[in-house]
Structure 1
Amino acid sequence: MADSQNTGTTRGLLERLNEGPVVCAEGYLFELERRGYLQAGSFVPEVVLDHPEVMEQVHRDFTHAGSDIQQAFTYNGTREKMRIMGKEDKLEPLNRNALRIARKVARETDTLLAGNICNSNVYDPENPDSVREAREMFEEQVQWAAEEGADMVIAETYSWTGEAKMALDIIKKHNLPAVVTMAMHRAPHTRDGDTLPDACKKLEDAGADVVGLNCMRGPWTMLETIKEVRQKCSGHVAAVPVPYRTNEEEPTFMALRDHVCPHHVPEGRPFPTALDPFLCNRYEVEDFTRQAHEAGVDYFGLCCGCQPHLLRSMAEALGRRPEASKYSPDMSKHAWFGQAARDINKSFADEL
């Protein structure tokens, strides 16, 4: 499969992966909702039309933190979602603007421009009309990505192996590198019955350049399965968890329940607007990244909930020093906890 043929970049996705691990920031939905530029619930990326300068800054913030890829914010920018919103006329402008914003940052920072397609929310293998509708949505989004000079396409958050394979087939027709990741819900299998490692193997055999898991699962409920994917597949493997403390009883961030203040969140469900207490700290992200990399994973990212300081920790765990590492913590310089206090025999820390 051709690598980075549409642009003037010197190193495409496969070249970068052959040199070492790649980091890709995702999670724009939650980051922009947190900043006040996107509505929780609909999660439609109208910010790329309404506030392109904010979207550009988000790309720059994540690049500063270590992202190698500018993923165009077209997640949920589908015909089906825009029809529900009554804004289907904005569909193509939204997609093209998202791609152009990401392309601007990519070309200025020697990073890659990625088109993005996602779960269609209409796909049903028993309904030919729904399959056709999903295919048409993927086809137009990938076409726009190719026309806008994408170096690659990320197809993500699929619950059906069949839908993911269909997305991959469309990307391959444009001769673009494809990253295809599956979403692992409570059940350890896809909706069409494959285990997640088997689904990833099928996608790899069908021509995906990178396969793996994204979203839904936090680091500690994704890790063992991603290790199984690594054992099953021979090529590049992606681990893109949500940075939330999911657990065996509540394995996805949608399943999390707040047992401390259950009456202060809608229906007792923290997802999507009250997940703050469950956010992983940077050291947990670092630990996960190190363990996954030691297992052979070489494509990393964080999905919903990604924040620049967490992505920086992911990059640093891989031995990278992004620009933001200039400001990584150094408590030796702290007035109360640092060396200066110890040098004058003061232990302020003991009083705190």
Structure 2
Amino acid sequence: MAPTSKLLQKLADGPVVVAEGYLFELERRGYVQAGAYVPEVVLEHPEKVAELHREFVRAGSDVVEAFTYYGHREKMRVIGKEHLLEPLNRNALRIATGIAAETGTIAAGNICNTNLYVGGDDAEDRFIRAIFDEQIGWAADAGVDYIVAETMAYAGEALIATKAIVDAGLTAVVTLAPHQTDRTREGWSFTDAARRIEDAGASVIGLNCHRGLWTIMPLIEEIRAAVSVPVAALPVPYRTTDEHKTFQALEDPLAAAAGNGRAFPTALDPFTVNRYEVADWGRAAVAAGVDYVGLCCGAGPHHIRALAESIGRTPEGSAMSADMTKHALFGDYEGIKAENQAHATRM
């Protein structure tokens, strides 16, 4: 039996909106280095992390997720800063729980893929479990409501993460990350993986990252039919296609500076979806049975606002939603110059 949490109570009343995407948004703003993608910003510029938390909540996110993605021991080793591991995690958690308390939202901890798992190596699996255990321990100390285990391309690693969260007595939200094929990296179907993760004790199961709004949906529908727990969908807000199902696969001849002709990760701008596409997807996702609905890498507050509004919410940020009737050229308000309206047709 999963522990009682604010998240599960809120899910019982309807869909929950969740903003992820901190990594890409803070990289765009100049506070995270692309490539390493380690969230040192929580130590160097904590006010910027708090600001983004507030922006996402104002846009409609029900959750404040601690920015500890890639803030684990292996990534800290890669950048030569293992001594900052605990301070980084504890500071990220302090920021998130503080903003959640301030805004009346739900605080979540976060663990993610370690980039170490390949399966079949017991010693490596024990080390991965230790990586998860220390981050979960700090999150539990901070008083988070639940833990997200995200971007797991290997279902085996997701199972290690699930067990670590459940063993800590916390609610587990586990999201796998699908690549070009409709299989996990070890070759399991996503329905098989989802059932095993449910059996391991996860309270919410689904997919996040890699695939866009519409290329993620066939797998989401399969998972919805396969499990009894709430289902999560947090795609990337990029225009992926049947040929290029993931944002890593998108190609752009103008992205040569990225080094390989692929737009990922620093030349994705031309592929970004607009807020109206997000709204269309949000309605379709909830209609398909998605309970935990959000966006991952690339999402901005305007995307989250559109998503929240698409399912009937009116967040604080809706006060600034577009109203083109007031536009000086395209509007129809009293007193608008007819010459301006005529000019608008020639622009």
**TM-score class, shorter:** over 0.9
Q: Of residues 110, 120, 127 in structure 2, which corresponds to 1:116?
A: 110
Counterpart amino acid of residue 282 in structure 1: R
TM superposition score normalised by structure 2: 0.96
State the match for 1:3 in structure 2: 4
TM superposition score normalised by structure 1: 0.95
Task: Classify the secondary structure of the residue corresponding to 1:221.
Answer: coil
Q: Please state if 1:224 is matched with 2:215.
A: no
Q: Of residues 323, 330, 333 in structure 2, which corresponds to 1:340?
A: 333
Unaligned stretches of 5+ in structure 2?
none
CA distance in 1, matches of 2:284, 2:26: 29
CA distance in 1, matches of 2:97, 2:265: 29
Q: What are the Cα deviations for residues 227-268 of structure 1, in whole angstroms up to 9, with x where unaligned?
A: 111111222000000000011111101111014x24344221
Say whether the 8 Å CA contact 2:20–2:294 is kept in structure 1: yes
Once the two structures are TM-superposed, the CA of residue 40 in structure 1 deviates from its matched residue by 0.3
RMSD, aligned α-carbons: 1.4
CA distance in 1, matches of 2:191, 2:274: 28
Q: Please state if 1:295 is matched with 2:296.
A: no
Q: What are the Cα deviations for residues 324-343 of structure 1, in whole angstroms up to 9, with x where unaligned?
A: 00000111111211113797
State the match for 2:160 in structure 1: 166
Say whether the 8 Å CA contact 1:168–1:178 is kept in structure 2: yes
Q: Please state if 1:312 is matched with 2:305.
A: yes
What does residue range 98-137 of structure 1 map to in structure 2 within 5 Å? 98-137=92-131
State the match for 1:283 in structure 2: 276
Moved over 4 A (4+): 341-346
What does residue range 129-278 of structure 1 map to in structure 2 within 5 Å? 129-259=123-253, 261-278=254-271
Q: How many residues align?
A: 344
**Larger displacement relative to structure 2 (261-270 or 198-207):** 261-270
Say whether the 8 Å CA contact 1:160–1:192 is kept in structure 2: yes
State the match for 1:7 in structure 2: none
Once the two structures are TM-superposed, the CA of residue 204 in structure 1 deviates from its matched residue by 1.5
CA distance in 2, matches of 1:128, 1:263: 41
From the superposition, tell whether residues 202 and 144 of structure 1 become closer, same or farther in structure 2 (CA, over 3 Å). Answer: same
Say whether the 8 Å CA contact 2:328–2:336 is kept in structure 1: no
Q: What are the Cα deviations for residues 197-249 of structure 1, in whole angstroms up to 9, with x where unaligned?
A: 22112212221111000000000111121111111122200000000001111
From the superposition, tell whether residues 343 and 148 of structure 1 become closer, same or farther in structure 2 (CA, over 3 Å). Answer: closer
Q: Please state if 1:97 is matched with 2:97.
A: no
CA distance in 2, matches of 1:158, 1:202: 14
Once the two structures are TM-superposed, the CA of residue 114 in structure 1 deviates from its matched residue by 0.6
State the match for 1:77 in structure 2: 71
Q: Please state if 1:63 is matched with 2:63.
A: no
CA distance in 2, matches of 1:249, 1:341: 49
State the match for 2:345 in structure 1: 350
CA distance in 2, matches of 1:294, 1:37: 37
Say whether the 8 Å CA contact 2:191–2:222 is kept in structure 1: yes
**Larger displacement relative to structure 2 (29-38 or 225-234):** 225-234
Say whether the 8 Å CA contact 2:72–2:131 is kept in structure 1: yes
**Larger displacement relative to structure 2 (262-271 or 87-96):** 262-271
Counterpart amino acid of residue 308 in structure 2: A
Say whether the 8 Å CA contact 1:185–1:216 is kept in structure 2: yes
CA distance in 2, matches of 1:198, 1:332: 50
Once the two structures are TM-superposed, the CA of residue 347 in structure 1 deviates from its matched residue by 3.0
Identity %: 54
Counterpart amino acid of residue 223 in structure 2: V
State the match for 1:48 in structure 2: 42
Unaligned stretches of 5+ in structure 1?
5-11
Say whether the 8 Å CA contact 2:255–2:267 is kept in structure 1: no
Once the two structures are TM-superposed, the CA of residue 130 in structure 1 deviates from its matched residue by 1.3
Say whether the 8 Å CA contact 2:238–2:273 is kept in structure 1: yes
Say whether the 8 Å CA contact 2:285–2:293 is kept in structure 1: no
CA distance in 2, matches of 1:158, 1:329: 36
Task: Classify the secondary structure of the residue corresponding to 1:347.
Answer: helix
From the superposition, tell whether residues 262 and 33 of structure 1 become closer, same or farther in structure 2 (CA, over 3 Å). Answer: closer
Say whether the 8 Å CA contact 1:335–1:341 is kept in structure 2: no
CA distance in 1, matches of 2:302, 2:48: 18
Task: Classify the secondary structure of the residue corresponding to 1:170.
Answer: helix
Say whether the 8 Å CA contact 1:243–1:304 is kept in structure 2: yes
Task: Classify the secondary structure of the residue corresponding to 2:52.
Answer: helix
Counterpart amino acid of residue 3 in structure 1: T
Q: Please state if 1:39 is matched with 2:37.
A: no
